[in-house]
């Protein structure tokens, strides 16, 4: 019998495994999803491998080595729809902190024989190398958004993923604004939603897991953070975590770093 | 899987070793009926965490180092907090320590359930993966999912989310859980505890190769009371006992050309093993009565030296973690504050906790303003790497009569015994078995 189900492949570049784990963490939906697709390549879950081309490829991780720069081209060539998932794949991830450091020095700090290590000077998102059909943000991605993405792709419609800011989620959740009420530094106004306003609900400021919201006004936020008492070096660090190389965050952190010198 | 023939020999290769966290490569070479080389290559791209931690604030390692591993982020957060609090001379109140232990139970439950049901059991039952296994053994996979769900629910309540929890900070938590929130988890955890006891019975009935190894075991052992998790000092089966702060004088790390992970050895003694087998063999007397009974029923003695039976030990630890979680919830009566202040000061601090895969060591040196001058992280998988290679060598040598397919399959299984987390150790697992006639 011919299997007409769409084939799904899950690939990993430089990353922590957390985004593909989010798929395995869909305990209630996993077997249903698995019934709707042919899992053609997902080494973390199965030894079985089907040849491409694949209908849907999910790519976790950033490009950090010459080998992965080649591999992402091969993945693109055998994937009808390619979706990058998570902060590493969409902005370069936390390992993009190398982009503002000296990678040669990094290599010698961690490894006794730096010559054994093949690495690129920058950690870059998938879209910087190949065309990407959709980007799912987050560190890690949100389970609900991941399921919405998969079901919409299987149904042949565009995924309904909000690009509102975390502030909107706090309002929906009824969380009192932390910067306003308690003077807590928060990236919520410039960060895309997806986490359901998680950190503010736990009493801590947003630290930017879902990356910059479209039209983010970083200059205004940086001014407000300075009013709350943050020094330029503090603002620099706040913007340089899991989405450090996202263009809006990178530009503002570079500006703040200049001011702190 | 591809097969290639070479004049006078055979080479067998698998592109990527499946069902491990991350990717790596194993190379086994057989010449003239003898195993001549075994190498576990870890070529996961390096991510340089220890380098970019330099210059960061002392409050940042819990969020930053969590990103080393999506499967065991809590382990990184707990070892980071322990090391920084040590550097700053702060110890957290018992209520906070108990909540940390509870959070850690959630991670053990989620991680062990993932490994037992998704990564390891398919080897014993003859499937490529759990999804394939679910067609014939829906009840078993369903049980695994239920246990995993309970672990993730606990992580979500206490940590905010299960992957990269946001509620952990140096000094404690951002927000304390309500007693009602924790009590709400109780029925799910109790059901999962029952399912875990069933799991011990199930996996104890698997067929295990007759294979034991003489490795030195290393684990934390708490000064008082309970099975090692978030605290303790280090003991080994060879009789060493030392404080976490002496880790660097006892453990040396080597950097080999084939691997992007560093290999750890005990100074003057050689390879050692961390993880479930080590914890169980060094601390089985500390198991809860329920977990101890499950272990005895499964036929485990006071120690376990067969790496293939690690799946049984992992199931016993699942019972332990679920039982401990219920106990901690029942004894929770709030805390005076979610966290204690941890003012920065110059100095060096050491922290070690028991990640699901074994001891995870962090060391930080701070300046007077709390800027990190130097960071060192030693994950479980790099500590186990030398022993994994030794296992492979001994295992293959005794099974040269098997055909390449079967031998490769069993080698993969021997690697999965250790639940290697190659994201942690850095990762690309590519298994090749090379034979030349002789």
Residues A215 and A140 both lie in one domain:
no
Residue A51 in contact with partner chain B when CB distance is under 8 A: no
Judge whether A238 and A209 are in contact, CB under 8 Å.
no
* DSSP character at residue A157: S
Dist CA A14 CA A87 (whole Å): 11
Q: Do A12 and B254 touch (CB under 8 A)?
A: no
CA distance A220 to chain B (A): 24
On whether any CB of chain A is under 8 Å from the CB of B73, the answer is yes
Q: What was the pLDDT predicted at A225?
A: 98
ipTM: 0.95
**Using one digit for the tens of pLDDT, what is the confidence trace for B420-429?**
776 665 422 3
Inside any domain, residue A161: no
For A145-177, write each residue's pLDDT tens digit: 999 999 999 898 999 999 999 999 999 999 999
Please report, for the domain that includes residue A134, its CATH number: 3.40.50.700
Burial class (CB in 10 A: 0-12, 13-18, 19+), B219: buried
Does residue A1 lie in a domain region? no
Cβ neighbors of A174 (< 8 A, separation 6 or more) are none
CB A173 within 8 Å of CB A195: no
**What span, in angstroms and rounded, lies between the C-alpha atoms of A156 and A192?**
25
CA angle B50, B54, B60 (to 5 degrees): 90
Q: Average the pLDDT over each of A6-20, A145-159, B250-264, B319-333 and give the range with the smallest value.
A: B250-264
The reported pLDDT for the residue numbered B6 is 43
Q: How confident is the model at residue B354 (pLDDT cuts 50, 70, 90)?
A: very high
Of A25, A30, A202, the CB nearest to B167: A202
Q: Are B312 and B204 in contact (CB under 8 A)?
A: yes
The tens digit of pLDDT for each residue in A89-100 reads 999 999 999 888
Instruction: Find the CB nearest B145 among A30, A64, A139.
Output: A30
Per-residue model confidence as pLDDT tens digits over A59-70: 999 999 898 999
> Higher pLDDT residue, B201 or B18?
B201
Using pLDDT thresholds of 50, 70 and 90, give the confidence band for residue B412: confident
Contacts with A48 from chain B: Cβ below 8 Å: 128-129, 132
Residues A170 and A137 in one domain: no
Same domain, A35 and A105: yes
Give the residue, A37 or B176, on which the prediction is more confident.
B176
Q: Of the candidates A101, A140, A203, which has its C-beta nearest B52's C-beta? A: A101
Q: Is the pLDDT of residue A116 over 80?
A: no
The answer to whether residues A90 and A70 belong to one domain is: yes
Domain boundary among A115, A130, A155: A155
Inter-chain touch B174–A204, beta carbons under 8 Å: yes
A238 touches chain B (CB under 8 A): no
Same domain, A114 and A230: no
Provide the pLDDT for residue A47. Answer: 82
Q: Do A204 and A117 reside in the same domain of the chain?
A: no
pLDDT of residue B309: 96
C-alpha to C-alpha distance for A185 and A205, rounded to whole angstroms: 6
Picking from B14, B45, B423 by the largest number of A CB atoms within 10 A of its own CB, the best residue to mutate is B45
Tell me the two tokens of residue A169: 């989620």
What per-residue confidence (pLDDT) applies to A96? 95
Q: Residue A110 and residue B48: Cβ atoms within 8 Å? A: yes
* pLDDT mean over B152-158: 98
Output DSSP code: residue A243: T
Contact A80, A55 (CB under 8 A): yes
A241 contact residues in B (CB cutoff 8 A): 60, 63-64
Percent of chain A with pLDDT over 70: 93
Closest chain A residue to B416, measured at CA = A44
pLDDT in tens, B178-213: 999 999 999 999 999 999 999 999 999 999 999 998
Q: Note the pLDDT tens digit of each residue in B360-370.
A: 999 999 999 99
**In angstroms, how far is the first alpha carbon of chain A from the final one?**
68
Q: What is the mean pLDDT of residues B86-99?
A: 97
What pTM was computed for the model?
0.93
User: Which residue of A27, A112, A239 is the best one to mutate when testing the B interface, meaning the one whose CB has the most B CBs within 10 A?
Assistant: A27
* 3-state SS, one letter per residue, for chain B: CEEEEECCEEEEEECCCCCCECCCEEEEEEECCEEEEEEEECCCCCCCHHHHCCCCECCCHHHHHHCCCCCCHHHHHHHHHHHHHHHHCCCCCHHHHHHHHHHHHHHHHHHHHHHHHHHHHHHHHCCCEHHHHHHHCHHHHHHHHHHHHHHHHHHHHHHCCCCCCCCEECCEECCCCCHHHHHHHHHHHHHHHHHHHHHHHHHHCCCCCCCCCCCEEEEEECCCCCCCCCCCEEEECCCCEECHHHHHHHEEEEECCCCCCEEEEECCCECEECCHHHHHHHHHHHCCHHHHHHHHHCCCCCCCCCHHHHHHHHHHHHHHHHHHHHHHHHCCCCCCCCECCCCCCCEEEEEEEEECCEEEEEEEEECCCCEEEEEEEECHHHHHHHHHHHHHHHHHHCCCCCCHHHHHHHHHHHHHCCCCEHHHHCCCCCEEEEEECC
Q: Is A95 on the interface with B (CB under 8 A)?
A: yes
Residue A61 is classified by DSSP as S
User: Strands A6-12 and A54-60, how do they pair?
Assistant: parallel
Does A121 score more than 50 pLDDT?
yes
Q: Is the pLDDT of residue B9 over 60?
A: no
Share above pLDDT 90 across residues of chain B, in percent, rounded to a whole number: 67
Beta bridge mates, B5:
B10
Pick the range with the lowest mean pLDDT from A157-166, B262-271, B277-286. B262-271
- The residue among B131 and B420 whose pLDDT is bigger is B131
B144 touches chain A (CB under 8 A): no
A149 with A193, same domain?
Answer: no
Query: Domain boundary residue among A124, A155, A186?
Result: A155
Q: Residue B436: which residues within 8 A CB-CB, separation 6 or more?
A: B6, B8, B9, B10, B29, B30, B31, B32
Q: Which two tokens stand for residue A234?
A: 């503090």
Last residue of a domain, one of A136, A155, A174: A155
CB contact under 8 A, B169 and A204: yes
What's residue A34's pLDDT?
A: 84
Nearest 5°: phi and psi at B222?
-65, 150
Half-sphere exposure of A6 (CA within 13 A, CB side): 17
Domain ranges, residue A173: 166-260
Phi and psi for B365 in degrees, rounded to 5?
Answer: -110, 130
Task: Please check whether residues A103 and A190 belong to one and the same domain.
Answer: no
Comparing CB atoms, the residue among B23, B145, B169 nearest residue A27 is B145
CA B389 – CA A148 distance, rounded (Å): 42
Any idea which of B132-141, B237-246, B313-322, B393-402 has the lowest mean pLDDT? Answer: B393-402
Q: Which residues from A are below 8 Å from B53, CB to CB?
A: none
Distance from the A215 Cα atom to the nearest Cα atom in chain B, whole angstroms? 26
What is the average pLDDT score of chain B?
Answer: 89
Number of domains in chain A: 2
Instruction: Find, among A234, A256, A101, the residue nearest to A248 by Cα.
Output: A256
Confidence tier at B341 by pLDDT (50, 70, 90): very high
Taking the C-alpha atoms of residue B273 and residue B320, their distance in angstroms, rounded to an integer, is: 21
Confidence (pLDDT) at B260? 58
pLDDT of residue B254: 72
Listed in sequence order, the residues at least 6 apart from B143 whose beta carbon sits closer than 8 Å to its beta carbon are B117, B195, B198, B199
Torsion of CA B111, B114, B120, B121, to 10 degrees: 130
∠ CA(B373), CA(B378), CA(B380), 5° rounding? Answer: 160
Q: Buried (b) or exposed (e) across B81-107, using 16+ Cβ within 10 A?
A: bbbbbbbbebebeebbebbbbbbbbbb
Distances (CA, A) of B355 to B76, B314, B419: 8, 12, 12
Taking residues B306-326, report their average pLDDT: 97
Q: Give start and end residues of each alpha helix (H) in chain A.
A: 18-24, 30-36, 66-77, 86-91, 103-110, 143-155, 166-173, 178-182, 198-201, 218-227, 232-239, 247-260
Residues A41 and A130 in one domain: yes
pLDDT band at B147 (very low <50, low <70, confident <90, very high): very high
**Statement to judge: residues A91 and A192 lie in one domain:** no
CA angle A104, A105, A111 (to 5 degrees): 90
Q: In the structure encoding, which two tokens stand for residue B15, read together?
A: 């592109």
Distance of residue A157 Cα from the nearest chain B Cα, in angstroms: 26
Higher local confidence (pLDDT), B227 or B433: B227
Q: Is the preceding peptide bond at A114 cis, omega within 30 degrees of 0?
A: no
* A160 inside domain: no
In a domain, A10, yes or no: yes
From chain B, the residues in CB contact with A93 under 8 A are: 67
pLDDT, average across residues B42-62: 87
Tell me, yes or no, whether A81 and A207 share the same domain.
no
Q: How many CB atoms lie within 10 A of CB B35?
A: 18
Nearest CA in chain B to A206: B166
A149 and A23: one domain? yes
What pLDDT score was predicted for residue A106?
67
- The encoded tokens of residue B223 equal 């000064």
Please check whether residue A143 lies inside any domain of the structure.
yes
Cα B3 to Cα B7, B13, B355, B389: the distances in Å are 13, 7, 38, 23
Selected residue with higher pLDDT from B13 and A143: A143
């Amino acid at each position: 019998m011919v299997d007409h189900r769409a084939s799904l492949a899950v690939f990993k570049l430089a990353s922590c495994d957390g985004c593909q784990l989010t798929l395995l963490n869909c305990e209630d939906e996993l077997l249903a999803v698995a019934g709707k697709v042919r899992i053609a390549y997902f080494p973390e879950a199965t030894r079985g491998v089907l040849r491409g081309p694949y209908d849907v490829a999910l790519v976790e991780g950033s490009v950090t080595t010459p080998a992965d720069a080649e591999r992402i081209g091969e993945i693109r060539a055998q994937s009808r729809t390619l979706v990058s998932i998570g902060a590493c794949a969409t902005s370069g991830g936390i390992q993009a902190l190398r982009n503002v450091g000296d990678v040669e020095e990094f290599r010698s700090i961690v490894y006794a024989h730096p010559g054994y290590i093949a690495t690129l000077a920058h950690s870059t998102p998938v879209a910087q190398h190949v065309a990407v059909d959709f980007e799912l943000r987050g560190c890690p991605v949100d389970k609900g958004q991941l399921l919405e993405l998969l079901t919409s792709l299987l149904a042949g419609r565009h995924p309904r993923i909000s690009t509102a800011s975390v502030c909107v989620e706090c309002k929906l959740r009824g969380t009192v604004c932390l910067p306003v009420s308690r003077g807590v530094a928060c990236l919520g106004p410039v960060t895309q939603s997806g986490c359901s306003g998680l950190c503010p609900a736990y009493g801590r400021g947003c630290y930017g897991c879902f990356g910059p919201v479209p039209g983010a006004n970083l200059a205004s936020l940086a001014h407000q953070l300075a009013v709350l008492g943050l020094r330029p070096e503090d603002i620099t660090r706040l913007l340089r975590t899991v989405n450090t190389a996202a263009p809006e965050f990178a530009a503002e952190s570079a500006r703040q770093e200049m001011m702190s010198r | 899987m591809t097969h290639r023939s070479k004049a006078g020999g055979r080479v067998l290769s698998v592109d990527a070793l499946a069902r491990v966290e991350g990717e790596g490569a194993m190379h086994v070479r057989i010449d003239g009926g003898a195993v001549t080389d075994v190498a576990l290559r870890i070529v996961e791209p390096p991510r340089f965490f220890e380098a970019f931690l330099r210059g960061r604030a002392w409050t940042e390692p819990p969020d930053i180092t969590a990103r080393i591993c999506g499967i065991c982020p809590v382990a990184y957060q707990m070892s980071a907090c322990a090391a920084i609090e040590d550097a700053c001379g702060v110890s957290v109140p018992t209520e906070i320590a108990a909540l940390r232990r509870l959070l850690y139970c959630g991670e053990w439950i989620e991680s062990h359930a993932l490994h037992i049901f998704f990564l390891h059991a398919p080897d014993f039952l003859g499937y490529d993966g759990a999804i394939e296994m679910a067609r014939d053994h829906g009840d078993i996979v369903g049980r695994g999912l239920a246990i995993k769900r309970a672990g993730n629910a606990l992580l979500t309540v206490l940590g905010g989310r299960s992957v990269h929890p946001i509620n952990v900070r140096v000094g404690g938590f951002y927000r304390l859980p309500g007693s009602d929130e924790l009590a709400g988890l109780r029925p799910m955890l109790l059901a999962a505890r029952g399912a875990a006891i069933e799991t011990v019975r199930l996996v104890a009935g698997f067929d295990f190769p007759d294979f034991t190894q003489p490795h030195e075991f290393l684990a934390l052992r708490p000064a008082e009371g309970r099975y090692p998790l978030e605290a303790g000092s280090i003991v080994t089966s060879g009789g060493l006992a030392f404080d976490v702060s002496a880790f660097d004088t006892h453990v040396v790390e080597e950097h080999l050309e084939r691997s992007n992970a560093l290999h750890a050895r005990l100074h003057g003694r050689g390879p050692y093993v961390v993880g479930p087998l080590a914890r169980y063999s060094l601390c089985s007397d500390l198991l809860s009565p329920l977990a101890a009974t499950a272990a005895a029923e499964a036929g485990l003695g006071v120690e376990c030296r067969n790496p293939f039976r690690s799946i049984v030990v992992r199931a016993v630890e699942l019972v332990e973690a679920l039982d401990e979680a219920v106990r901690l919830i029942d004894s929770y009566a709030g805390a005076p504050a979610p966290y204690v202040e941890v003012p920065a000061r110059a100095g060096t601090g050491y922290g070690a906790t028991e990640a699901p895969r074994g001891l995870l060591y962090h060391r930080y040196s701070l300046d007077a303003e709390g800027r990190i001058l130097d960071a060192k992280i030693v994950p479980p998988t790099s500590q186990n790497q030398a022993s994994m290679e030794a296992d492979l060598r001994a295992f293959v040598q005794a099974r040269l009569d098997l055909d390449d397919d079967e031998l490769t399959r069993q080698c993969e299984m021997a690697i999965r015994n250790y639940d290697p987390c190659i994201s942690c150790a850095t990762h690309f697992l590519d298994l090749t078995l090379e034979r030349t006639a002789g």
